Amino acid sequence: MTDETINVRIPDRSSAEQGQGEYFFLTVNGRTEKISFHDYDKIYSIPGLYEKLFYDRYKCNSPEVVCSLLEKNLEQSDLDSSELSVLDIGAGNGIVGEVLKKIGAENIVGLDIIEEAEEAAWRDRPEVYQRYYTADLTQLTEKEKYELTNTYFNCLTVVAALGFEDIPPHAFSAGYNFIDSPGWFAFNIKEDFLENKTDSSGFSKLINEMMNDNLIDLKDKHLYRHRLCQDGTPLNYYAVVAEKKDDVPEDMVQQFL
């Protein structure tokens, strides 16, 4: 292991600057780079940086909020978390998997589109996932499809990974369709992305169609502060738990391509 000097400088931001996106400056061995909050590859490559930034500095608590909502709904249905077989998509470096383990889930598989996420998950939380796929859900290999189909998942989790610049509706649908019916679906999503008025992500339309066509049965929906924005204002998300009734059909997916 090399002795790197690492320094993180977070700029003071006013709300007027918010449209420019969120970023910080990372200096490694004297070389400084401006890093966007979506540069997950660079963030995961430094152990502890993701946690320091989003969890300590910007007070994210979404894995706990989503997993405890799931736990509460399982209890209300007289189900035990140890019976879950979870596919965690947009899994990152494994924080959601770690919380799922804490609530009693034993069988958890992670998936993320970038290899730095998988590397960080094995590096930081090697005991959490039984398997981890670096994969694009819309371009899976036959082997990946076979393995994911034959794992018989009964729960999908997606935390802080749906929508703009992250998992789009058609990729989400592919992940959702690997879950058995009946099954569980626990996720969070930006407030605007679930409300028709301002949604440009497609998720408001998709989730509403899924409810109207009885593909999901909404069990719980809770608006809360996902984290602070860089200007200090709250970034509100919905935590949602639903029961899966059926797959998303191909014609529903097509409109999001």
Between CA 24 and CA 29, with CA 28 as vertex, the angle to 5 degrees is 150
Smallest separation, CB 138 to ligand SAM (Å): 8
Question: Nearer to ligand SAM by C-beta: 29 or 38?
Answer: 38
Which residues have a Cβ under 8 Å from the Cβ of 2 and sit 6 or more positions away?
A: none
Question: Nearer to ligand SAM by C-beta: 168 or 183?
Answer: 168
Smallest separation, CB 188 to ligand SAM (Å): 8
Smallest separation, CB 192 to ligand SAM (Å): 17
Smallest separation, CB 194 to ligand SAM (Å): 17
Measured over the CA atoms of residue 224, residue 169, residue 176 and residue 150, the dihedral's sign is negative
CA-wise closest residue to 256 among 169, 175, 195, 198: 169
| Residues 160, 170: Cα–Cα separation, whole Å | 17
Question: Nearer to ligand SAM by C-beta: 37 or 211?
Answer: 37
Smallest separation, CB 5 to ligand SAM (Å): 26
The amino acid occupying position 49 is L
Helix (H) or strand (E) holding 25: strand 23-28
| Residues 121, 100: Cα–Cα separation, whole Å | 14
| Residues 163, 242: Cα–Cα separation, whole Å | 18
Question: CA dist 27 to 37, 41, 50, 249, Å?
Answer: 15, 16, 15, 47
Binding residues vs ligand SAM (CB under 6 A): 40, 62-63, 89-92, 95-96, 112-114, 117, 137, 159-161, 166-167, 171
- In the bound state, the residue with its beta carbon closest to ligand SAM is 92
Smallest separation, CB 243 to ligand SAM (Å): 21
- Please classify residue 253 by burial: count the beta carbons closer than 10 Å to its beta carbon, then call 0-12 exposed, 13-18 middle and 19+ buried: buried
Smallest separation, CB 139 to ligand SAM (Å): 10
Determine the 3-state secondary structure of 96 from DSSP.
helix
